[in-house]
Structure 1
Amino acid sequence: MSDVPALLTRLRLLRCQAAYIATPLYHGYGIAILLLCIALGKKVVLTPGFSPAKACALIQEHAVDIVTVVPTMLAKMLKQDAAALKSLSCIASGGATLSPKLVAEVFGKLGPVLYNLYGTSEAGLNLIATPQDLQAASQTIGKKISSARLQVRDHRGNKLGVGEIGQICIKNRWSMRNWDGSWIETGDLGYRDERGYYFLCGRTDEMIVSGGVNVYPLEVEQMLSQHPLVEDVAVIGVPDEMYGQRLRAFVQPVPHADASAEALLDWLRPRVARHQLPREIVFVDRISYTHAGKRDKKRLRQTGE
C-alpha cells in the first residue's frame, strides 16, 4: 500500500480515535482506512448498509472523528442532522465528484474537515485535496501524493502541459494493468493548474463535440449546482441536427422551489461559454445514483428518450 504514508500524514490518521467506514468495503480508500485503523488499534464502526439517520446516530454515539463517504452520503447526513457530526475532524470523500455547493455547506456547518480523495481500483490512491486545498480551489481533486506517477496525456499518449485537458494516466509498480511498464488510462479527463492542483472535467465517454468544440458536461453540472434552487443536476449529450450534439440538463429542484427552465438558462448564460449552454432543461423528482455513488446517466438517457 504505497498510499499509506499519504493517508497517515495528510488525513492525520494517527490522531484518529474512532472511524466509521460508511462506504462499501469494495471502495478502495474505505478498506485502506479500515485496515490502517485496525493496525493502529483504533475503534472502527461498520454497518451492513447506509442510512443517514443511523450514520448520524453512530457518529454521535461513538464520538467518531473520521468517516469515509461518497458525496451523496455526506449530503444526506448534513440534511439529516448536521449537529450530530460535530465530532468529525476528517471527512474522507471519494468515488464521485464533490460539488462546490456541498464543499461550502460542509465548511459552513462543520469547519475545515473535508478531504477529497482520487484514485482507481487499478492504481490505488493518487491525489488528495486537504481542507486547505479545497478552500483555495473548491473543485480540485487535490495534489499528487509522493508515491504517485501521474500524467495528463492526449489521445496520442503525449504528455500535456499546465491547463491542457487530457486523460489522467497513472503508472505504478504493482498493478497488473501496467505490468509491462505502460501507463494506465483511467478514463477520466482533467488538467493540472500552475499550483499543482488537478481538476476533473468528466469521463472520456461523456465528452461531446458540439459544433466542433469539445464540451464537458461535468463543468456545466458544477456551475448549475451552485444555483440556490438546484438540489442536484446531471448533464448528458444528446443528438442535434445543427451542432452534432448539444447538452441536456436534468435538474432536481430544492423542495417547494418555484424554478423554471427559462430562469435557470438566463442565470447560466453569463456564467458559461455559448457552446456549454444546455439545449434544454428537464426537471425530475430525483437524480438516480448507482451503487457506487455516481449519477446514473444511463437511466437518465433512457428517461429522456
Structure 2
Amino acid sequence: MDNTVNWFEKRCRLNPSHIAVVDGQTGERWTYRDMDRRFLSIAAYLQSQGVEKGDRVALLSPNDVCYFDMLFACAKLGAIFVPLNWRLAAPELDYIIHNCDPKVIAVHPDLDEINGNVLTKVQESHFKLMKAAGKEYDDIIRMTAAPTSNPALKMDDPLSIIYTGGTTGKPKGVVLSHASMFWNAINTVVSWNLTSRDITPTYMPMFHTGGLNALSLPILQIGGTVIVCKSFRPETFVEIVRRERCTLVLLVPTMYHMLTQSEVFAEASFPTMHTFLSGGAPCPHTIYEAFASKGLAFKEGYGMTEAGPNNFFIDPSEAAKHVGSVGMPMMLNDIKIVNNHGETAVVGEVGEILLKGGHLFHSYWNLPKETEEAFSDRWFHTGDLGRRDDEGFFYIMGRKKDMIITGGENVYPLEVEHLLQQHPYIEEAAVVGIPDEKWGEQVIAVLVLKSGAHLDEETLKQYCAASIGKYKIPKRFVFAEELPKTAVGKIDKIRIIHDHSYGKI
C-alpha cells in the first residue's frame, strides 16, 4: 500500500488531542482521536454491509461531520465515496444514483422530507439505506470497531466521484483518485503556508469540490480545525468566526455580497482572520472595495471539480494591486494559456486555460471517450478563458463552455432549454446569464410561445421545479415574438443579452 493513501489515519495518530472538527451549529467538537474512531467504526459497518474495494457509497446530507466519516471510511476500504447534491430535483438525483450504482446510500435525517420521492424509489430498489445521523448512526460509532481486513490500495485508485453538470444535460461523474485529493491538499498546504493553527468554517456545500477539497481536506491534512456550517447567514458567520477564532475562509461571491451588505459586517472586526478567499464564480470588484475599506485581506481563486479545485495562489497584498487576478500557479501544478491555434498565448492575449499536475481528476465515470478528449499530452483543457499580464499574474476572462454560474452553482443553459422546449406551449427557448451583483449571474429565459398560447412566470417556475434544481430555474422569463439568429441560423445569444428589444435584458 502506498504510504500516502492513509494520510488522515496518520494525522489522527500524530495529533490525537487536537480539535479536528466542530459543528458550527451545536458547537460539538471532535478531536483527531475521535475522528479516527468514528471513521474506523463506519468502515467496519460498511464492510459488514458487503462494501468492498471499488464499491460506491453515496451520501445525501447537508454539511455535517458525517462527510468526513464516510470519506475516510471509504478510503480505508478502497470504496468510492459519492456525495450527492441534495438541491437537485428528484429525476436528477435518480439519474445519478442509478449511474453510479452505490452499494449503500447514507441519508441524513434532515433530508428525509426534502428528498422523500427519491428515498421512496431507493427503498423500492436494491440499494441499501443507512442513516447518516441520529441514534442508529451514533450506535455504529460507539462500537469502536475496525475493518476485519484492509485491501491493498494504490494512489491511483478512485476515492470519490463528484457529479457536475454536463452540457448535454446529463451530469458527469468526476472521478477523483487518492492521488488527486492528496496532491490538491498538499499543494494547498505548501503554497498557501497553512499550519495546524489554521481554523476554517466550511460553508461551501460539501457535495461540491469547493466544500470538500478547497480548504477542508488541506486543513485536516496539516492538523488544523474545520468548522462544519450548514447554512450561511451574515450574523451567524460573524459569530462563528469570533467564537472559534477562525483564520481563513472560502465563500462564493453571493455570500460575500450578503455579508458586505449587512449591518453586522459594518460593525465587525476580524482580528484572527488572515485571509478571506472567494471562489466558485468571478467576484465583483465592489466586494474587493468593501474589504479594503476595512483593511481586511481579500483574494479570489479559480478551480473546478476536475482540477482540485486549487490551482493558483496570490498573496492578499498582491490581490489589492492586481484586482481580479487569481495569482500565479501553485508550487506543484503547471498552467498555461493557449490561443485558437494551440500556441502558448502571449502576454495579454486571451486563450484557453490548460492545467497539469497530480491534483487532476482520474477520469469521467464510465465515459472513456470524454476522458480522453479532456486531455492532450497530459494537459487538461478546462474550456475556460484567461490571460496573463507582464508580471505573470493570471486573470479569468470567461468560459468557452456555455455555462452560467449563479450563487456558486453551475447551470448549463442547454439543459434548461431542453426542458422548456418540451413544454407544449413553447416554440423556442434561449437561456442566458446576465451579471448580477448578488448572485454573480442571473439565469434568464427568453421564450417564443406557440400561436395563441399563454404562459405566466409562476406557471413556468412550477413546471421547471418538477424536473430541475431550484438554482437552475430562471429568475425571469421574457416573452418575445422571435429570437435573433446568426447567419447560419443559430440563436444569437450575444444579441439577446445586449439588444434591449428582447425584453430589456
TM range (shorter): 0.5 to 0.7
How do 1:191-210 residues align onto structure 2 when only pairs under 5 Å count? 191-206=387-402
Quote the residue 1:155 is aligned against: 340
Task: Give the 5 Å matches for 1:70-219.
Answer: 70-80=252-262, 81-82=264-265, 83-84=267-268, 86=270, 87-109=272-294, 111-124=295-308, 125-173=310-358, 175-176=361-362, 177=371, 181-206=377-402
Q: Which amino acid aligns with 1:204?
A: K
Change (3 A) 1:107 1:198: same
What is the distance in 2 between the residues matched to 1:133 and 1:187? Answer: 27
The 1-side partners of 2:343 and 2:200 are apart by 41
Counterpart-to-counterpart distance in 2, 1:163 and 1:180: 24
Is the counterpart of residue 28 in structure 1 residue 28 in structure 2?
no
Tell me how far apart the structure 1 counterparts of residues 244 and 216 of structure 2 sit (CA, whole Å).
16
The 1:100–1:13 alpha-carbon spacing in structure 2 relative to 1, beyond 3 Å, is: same
- 1:139-198 Cα distance to aligned partner (Å, 9 max, x none): 112111122221212334332221111111112345324677442121211111111111
CA apart distance, 1:5: 5.1
Question: Which amino acid is 1:195 matched to?
Answer: E
* Secondary structure of the structure 1 residue equivalent to 2:391: coil
Aligned residues: 239
Report the Cα distance in structure 1 between the residues aligned to 2:195 and 2:331, rounded to whole angstroms. 18
**Tell me, what secondary structure is at the counterpart of 1:38?**
helix
Structure 2: give runs of 5+ residues left out of the alignment: 1-181, 363-370, 404-431, 447-482
The amino acid that maps onto 2:223 is G
Farther off after superposition, 188-197 or 23-32? 23-32
Alignment of 1:271-290 (within 5 A): 278-280=498-500
C-alpha separation in 2, matches of 1:199 and 1:180 = 23
Structure number, greater radius of gyration = 2
Further displaced range: 179-188 or 55-64: 179-188
The Cα offsets for residues 99-120 of structure 1, whole Å up to 9 and x where unpaired, read as 11111111112x2421312122
1:126 is displaced (CA, Å) by: 1.3
Q: Give the corresponding residue for 1:19.
A: 200
Q: Counterpart amino acid of 2:233?
A: S
The question of whether the paired residues in 2 share the 8 Å contact of 1:116 and 1:130 is answered with no
User: Secondary structure of the residue that 1:280 maps to in structure 2?
Assistant: coil
Question: Which residue of the partner structure matches residue 249 of structure 2?
Answer: 67
Paired residue secondary structure (2:239): helix
Matched residues in 1 for 2:202 and 2:302: separation? 17
CA contact (8 A) 1:64 1:88 kept: yes
Alignment match, 1:261: none
Shift of 1:23: 1.0
Distance (whole Å) between structure 2 residues aligned to residue 11 and residue 62 of structure 1: 21
The two structures have a TM-score, normalised by structure 1, of 0.65
* Structure 1 pair 135–54 and aligned structure 2 pair: CA distance change class (3 A): same
Shift in CA distance, 35/246, structure 1 to aligned 2, threshold 3 Å: closer
Query: Displacement of 1:247 after TM fit?
Result: 5.0
- Of the structure 1 ranges 179-188 and 230-239, higher mean CA displacement relative to structure 2 is found in 230-239
Contact 2:275/2:316, CA 8 A, preserved across alignment: no
| Aligned pairs for 1:2-13 within 5 A | 2-4=183-185, 6-13=187-194
Amino acid paired to 1:185: H
Q: Could you say if the C-alpha distance between residues 197 and 150 of structure 1 is closer, same or farther in structure 2, counting changes exceeding 3 Å?
A: same
For residues 141 and 27 of structure 1, what CA distance do their matches in structure 2 show? 20
What residue in structure 1 maps to residue 225 of structure 2? Answer: 43
Q: Distance in 2 between matches of 1:147 and 1:62?
A: 31
TM-score normalised to structure 2 length: 0.41
The question of whether the paired residues in 2 share the 8 Å contact of 1:22 and 1:47 is answered with yes
CA–CA separation in structure 1 for the residues paired with 2:354 and 2:184: 17
Question: Which residue is equivalent to 1:288?
Answer: none
Any conservation in 1 of the 2:356–2:379 contact (CA below 8 Å)?
yes
Instruction: Name the CA distance, whole Å, in 2 between partners of 1:248 and 1:100.
Output: 25
Deviations 1:184-233 (A, max 9, x none): 121211111111111112111359xxxxxxxxx99x95xxx8xxxx7677
User: Is the CA contact (8 Å cut-off) linking 2:203 and 2:228 kept in structure 1?
Assistant: yes
Is 1:115–1:128's contact at 8 Å kept on the other side of the alignment?
no
Cα separation, partners in 2 of 1:167 and 1:180, compared to 1, 3 Å = closer
Structure 1 CA distance for aligned equivalents of residues 286 and 195 of structure 2: 30
Separation in 2, partners of 1:70, 1:231: 10
In structure 2, distance between residues paired with 1:28 and 1:143: 21
Q: Is the Cα–Cα contact under 8 Å of residues 59 and 84 in structure 1 kept in the other structure?
A: no
Deviations 1:235-275, CA, capped at 9 Å, x for gaps: 899965799664566xxxxxxxxxxxxxxxxxxxxxxxxxx
CA shift, 1:2, in A, is 2.9
RMSD: 3.5
Q: Are 1:240 and 1:246, in contact at CA under 8 Å, matched by a contact in 2? A: no
Query: Residues 9 and 113 from structure 1, CA distance in 2 versus in 1: closer, same or farther, beyond 3 angstroms?
Result: farther
Structure 1: unaligned runs, 5 residues or longer: 208-216, 250-277, 285-303
Which residue identity is paired with 2:315?
T
Q: Name the CA distance, whole Å, in 2 between partners of 1:231 and 1:31.
A: 24
